[in-house]
Amino acid sequence: MNDYYFANTPRVDALAKVRGEAIFCADDARPDMMHAALAVAYGLPPEGALKALTIWPAEIFGAEKDIGSIAQGKIANLFVSTGDPLDFRSQITDVVIKGRLVPDDDRHHRLYEKYKARPLTTTTP
Protein backbone atom coordinates (compact mmCIF):
# COMPACT_ATOMS: atom_id res chain seq x y z
CA MET A 1 0.00 0.00 0.00
CA ASN A 2 1.35 3.38 -0.97
CA ASP A 3 1.59 5.72 2.03
CA TYR A 4 1.20 8.86 -0.12
CA TYR A 5 -2.46 9.25 0.85
CA PHE A 6 -1.77 8.72 4.54
CA ALA A 7 1.29 11.00 4.59
CA ASN A 8 -0.78 13.86 3.11
CA THR A 9 -3.59 13.77 5.65
CA PRO A 10 -4.81 17.39 5.31
CA ARG A 11 -5.39 16.75 1.62
CA VAL A 12 -6.90 13.34 2.32
CA ASP A 13 -9.22 14.78 4.98
CA ALA A 14 -10.52 17.33 2.49
CA LEU A 15 -10.94 14.68 -0.22
CA ALA A 16 -12.66 12.30 2.18
CA LYS A 17 -15.34 14.89 2.80
CA VAL A 18 -16.02 15.00 -0.92
CA ARG A 19 -15.43 11.36 -1.81
CA GLY A 20 -15.49 8.67 0.86
CA GLU A 21 -13.42 6.36 -1.31
CA ALA A 22 -10.55 8.86 -1.37
CA ILE A 23 -9.07 7.00 1.58
CA PHE A 24 -10.81 3.67 1.63
CA CYS A 25 -11.55 0.88 -0.82
CA ALA A 26 -14.98 1.18 -2.36
CA ASP A 27 -15.01 -2.38 -3.72
CA ASP A 28 -14.02 -4.35 -0.60
CA ALA A 29 -15.21 -3.24 2.84
CA ARG A 30 -12.98 -5.59 4.82
CA PRO A 31 -9.83 -3.44 4.90
CA ASP A 32 -11.67 -0.15 5.44
CA MET A 33 -11.24 -0.16 9.22
CA MET A 34 -7.53 -0.84 8.78
CA HIS A 35 -7.20 1.99 6.28
CA ALA A 36 -9.06 4.32 8.63
CA ALA A 37 -6.77 3.36 11.51
CA LEU A 38 -3.69 3.95 9.35
CA ALA A 39 -5.01 7.33 8.27
CA VAL A 40 -5.43 8.27 11.93
CA ALA A 41 -1.88 7.10 12.65
CA TYR A 42 -0.70 9.51 9.93
CA GLY A 43 -2.61 12.41 11.44
CA LEU A 44 -6.21 12.28 10.23
CA PRO A 45 -8.50 13.18 13.14
CA PRO A 46 -10.28 10.06 14.49
CA GLU A 47 -13.64 11.77 13.98
CA GLY A 48 -12.80 12.24 10.29
CA ALA A 49 -11.89 8.59 9.91
CA LEU A 50 -15.15 7.47 11.52
CA LYS A 51 -17.15 9.88 9.37
CA ALA A 52 -15.40 8.53 6.26
CA LEU A 53 -16.74 5.10 7.21
CA THR A 54 -20.26 6.19 8.16
CA ILE A 55 -21.99 9.48 7.39
CA TRP A 56 -19.92 10.70 4.43
CA PRO A 57 -20.60 7.61 2.26
CA ALA A 58 -24.29 7.90 3.21
CA GLU A 59 -24.23 11.53 2.05
CA ILE A 60 -22.50 10.57 -1.19
CA PHE A 61 -25.30 8.10 -1.96
CA GLY A 62 -28.02 10.49 -0.76
CA ALA A 63 -29.05 8.11 2.02
CA GLU A 64 -28.04 10.17 5.06
CA LYS A 65 -31.69 10.40 6.17
CA ASP A 66 -31.78 6.62 6.63
CA ILE A 67 -28.21 5.49 7.39
CA GLY A 68 -24.78 6.75 8.35
CA SER A 69 -25.36 7.83 11.95
CA ILE A 70 -27.24 6.75 15.04
CA ALA A 71 -30.52 8.63 15.43
CA GLN A 72 -34.15 7.91 16.10
CA GLY A 73 -35.96 6.88 12.92
CA LYS A 74 -32.82 5.72 11.10
CA ILE A 75 -32.04 2.14 10.14
CA ALA A 76 -29.96 0.67 12.95
CA ASN A 77 -26.93 -0.94 11.33
CA LEU A 78 -24.08 -0.92 13.83
CA PHE A 79 -21.62 -2.99 15.79
CA VAL A 80 -20.42 -3.08 19.38
CA SER A 81 -16.73 -3.57 20.09
CA THR A 82 -14.53 -4.07 23.13
CA GLY A 83 -12.75 -0.77 22.53
CA ASP A 84 -11.95 1.87 19.97
CA PRO A 85 -13.22 0.64 16.59
CA LEU A 86 -10.05 2.01 14.97
CA ASP A 87 -7.81 -0.02 17.30
CA PHE A 88 -6.65 -3.31 15.77
CA ARG A 89 -6.89 -4.98 19.19
CA SER A 90 -10.61 -4.31 19.58
CA GLN A 91 -12.94 -7.23 19.05
CA ILE A 92 -16.46 -6.96 17.65
CA THR A 93 -18.87 -8.42 20.21
CA ASP A 94 -22.27 -7.72 18.64
CA VAL A 95 -23.66 -6.78 15.23
CA VAL A 96 -27.05 -5.15 14.68
CA ILE A 97 -28.54 -5.03 11.18
CA LYS A 98 -31.84 -3.25 10.55
CA GLY A 99 -32.38 -3.04 14.30
CA ARG A 100 -31.98 -6.77 14.95
CA LEU A 101 -29.12 -8.45 16.75
CA VAL A 102 -27.36 -10.82 14.36
CA PRO A 103 -26.60 -14.18 15.99
CA ASP A 104 -22.95 -15.14 15.94
CA ASP A 105 -23.75 -18.81 15.46
CA ASP A 106 -22.38 -19.21 11.96
CA ARG A 107 -19.86 -21.68 10.60
CA HIS A 108 -16.97 -19.25 10.94
CA HIS A 109 -17.71 -18.60 14.61
CA ARG A 110 -18.24 -22.30 15.38
CA LEU A 111 -14.86 -23.18 13.85
CA TYR A 112 -13.20 -20.33 15.73
CA GLU A 113 -14.63 -21.60 19.03
CA LYS A 114 -13.64 -25.17 18.19
CA TYR A 115 -10.02 -24.42 17.41
CA LYS A 116 -9.16 -21.43 19.62
CA ALA A 117 -8.34 -23.63 22.61
CA ARG A 118 -6.23 -26.16 20.73
CA PRO A 119 -2.76 -26.71 22.11
CA LEU A 120 0.01 -24.92 20.33
CA THR A 121 2.47 -27.19 18.63
CA THR A 122 6.14 -26.59 19.11
CA THR A 123 8.88 -27.75 16.89
CA THR A 124 12.20 -28.85 18.23
CA PRO A 125 15.31 -28.66 16.11
Cβ neighbours, 10 Å, residue 38: 19
In a domain, 79, yes or no: yes
What's the domain range around 57? 4-115
The three-class DSSP label of residue 12 is helix
Please state the rounded mean pLDDT for residues 65-83.
92
| pTM of the model as a whole | 0.63
In a domain, 125, yes or no: no
In a domain, 124, yes or no: no
DSSP designation for 43:
T
Q: Which residue has better confidence, 15 or 100?
A: 100
In a domain, 122, yes or no: no
In a domain, 53, yes or no: yes
CB-based contacts of 2: which residues, under 8 Å, 6+ apart? none
Closest by alpha carbon to 39, among 7, 65, 70, 72? 7
In a domain, 13, yes or no: yes
Q: Which residues pair with 80 in a beta bridge?
A: 94
